Amino acid sequence: MNEDTPDATVHDVVIVGSGVAGLSAAVYAARADLEPVVLEGPEPGGQLTLTTDVENFLGFPEGIGGMELIQNGKAQAQRFGAEFVHGTVEDAALEERPFALELSNGETLRTQALIVATGASARWVGAENEDELMGYGLSTCATCDGAFHRGDDVLVIGGGDSAMEEALFLAKFADSVTIVHRRDELRASDIMARRAREHDQIEFRWNTELLEIHGSQEEGVTGATLVSHPDGLPKDRLADGEDVEYEDVDVGGIFYGVGHVPNTAFLEDTAVDLDDEGHLLTLEGMTTETAAEGVFGAGDVMDPDYRQAITAAGTGSMAALDAESWLEEQALESNAEAAVVAEADD
């Protein structure tokens, strides 16, 4: 931890992350006069900035652009006094308060309460054009974008439970769903694999990988180039100079179902508990508190199940309310201690 902090200010609340969860926490904390500082992180605005239309966020009957929703949320938080700072947390010292957060630019932020809203990044597979087409027919979230693919043929990439879930959900809308998996057997649990295998609209392409995505931001996804090899892992074999088979397919959508990585590396050596995948664990019951007193979790970073903007916003507001109550308790306790000391001095 950097001892030579250029800024000795101790904030009431620092919110790490500026996705929907962080923004919602910022609105609530700012309206409670806690003057929150929001660290924007490597992806200011978070995952919603990757998508075009959001049709399932309550209050927008015609839908709203992901970027617009985020910009509105930021403006709303700023209106009440939230301060937004460019910065990514590299390390967190949570053993004593105020907590100290070391940023990648070498600065240190100090805070009494900490809200972790760092999200979980969907894994990408490294196909050509994925940067350009993410949010334009390429997605990492069937619940979010499945309904845009009524009547389409779609691909789902992956072989674990995430991919099976995506495929089963998409089968409600799409004409056909093809699961593309680089091996000849699934990693998914038996029950999920059986449900997918038994579904009439779901097919499998074994020993196959996605090499390139076709389309444009104007047209959306129009197709893909797949590579396959009878012994699996075709992209590795291609890189090693082995012969693989190429095939172009016409599809209207591609979904990555290869899992998520919660952004919690900076919490690994702290008292905050993480699950096996790295999700931040909150205490039992309806709370955002963690095992580290004064640290609260919100959004996808603590939610392996729902991963929706509306649930992230909900837990963001809960985290701010929990932090506010906790700070009030701390203030009451220190006032009581001060009164005891004053009485003893008299």
Ligand X SMILES: Cc1cc2nc3c(=O)[nH]c(=O)nc-3n(C[C@H](O)[C@H](O)[C@H](O)COP(=O)(O)OP(=O)(O)OC[C@H]3O[C@@H](n4cnc5c(N)ncnc54)[C@H](O)[C@@H]3O)c2cc1C
Catalytic site residues?
Answer: 141, 144-145
Q: Are 201 and 172 in contact, with CB atoms under 8 Å apart?
A: no
Among 332, 336, 328, which Cα is nearest to 33's?
Answer: 328
Q: Are 168 and 142 in contact, with CB atoms under 8 Å apart?
A: no
Q: For residue 208, what is the DSSP state?
A: E
- Name which position in 88, 112, 282, 288 contacts ligand X (CB under 6 A): 88
The letter for the amino acid at 164 is: M
Q: How many CB atoms lie within 10 A of CB 219?
A: 12
In the complex with ligand X, which residue's Cβ is closer, 202 or 280?
280
Shortest Cβ distance from residue 272 to ligand X (Å)? 13
Q: Are 228 and 205 in contact, with CB atoms under 8 Å apart?
A: yes
Range 225-284, binding ligand X (CB under 6 A): 263, 266
Q: Does 117 bind ligand X (CB under 6 A)?
A: yes
Beta strands in 5-104 (DSSP E): 10-16, 37-39, 53-54, 64-65, 83-85, 89-93, 99-103
Q: Does 41 bind ligand X (CB under 6 A)?
A: yes
Shortest Cβ distance from residue 117 to ligand X (Å)? 5
Cα separation, 93 vs 160, whole angstroms: 35
Shortest Cβ distance from residue 45 to ligand X (Å)? 6
CB under 8 Å to 79, separation ≥6 — which residues? Answer: none
In the complex with ligand X, which residue's Cβ is closer, 234 or 252?
252
- Name which position in 36, 73, 98, 135 contacts ligand X (CB under 6 A): 135
Q: Are 127 and 210 in contact, with CB atoms under 8 Å apart?
A: yes
Which of these segments, 140-148, 184-192, 321-329, 333-341, binds ligand X (CB under 6 A)?
140-148
- Name which position in 11, 14, 15, 17 contacts ligand X (CB under 6 A): 17
Task: Return the structure tokens found at 1.
Answer: 């931890």
Please compute, for residue 215, the number of CA atoms within 13 A of its CA located in the half-sphere on the CB side: 25
Q: Does 72 bind ligand X (CB under 6 A)?
A: no
Which of these segments, 113-121, 154-162, 233-241, 324-332, binds ligand X (CB under 6 A)?
113-121
Q: Does 288 bind ligand X (CB under 6 A)?
A: no
**Interface residue list for ligand X (CB under 6 A):** 16-22, 39-44, 46-48, 50-51, 54, 56-57, 88-89, 117-119, 122, 134-135, 139-141, 144-145, 263, 266, 299-301, 307-310, 312
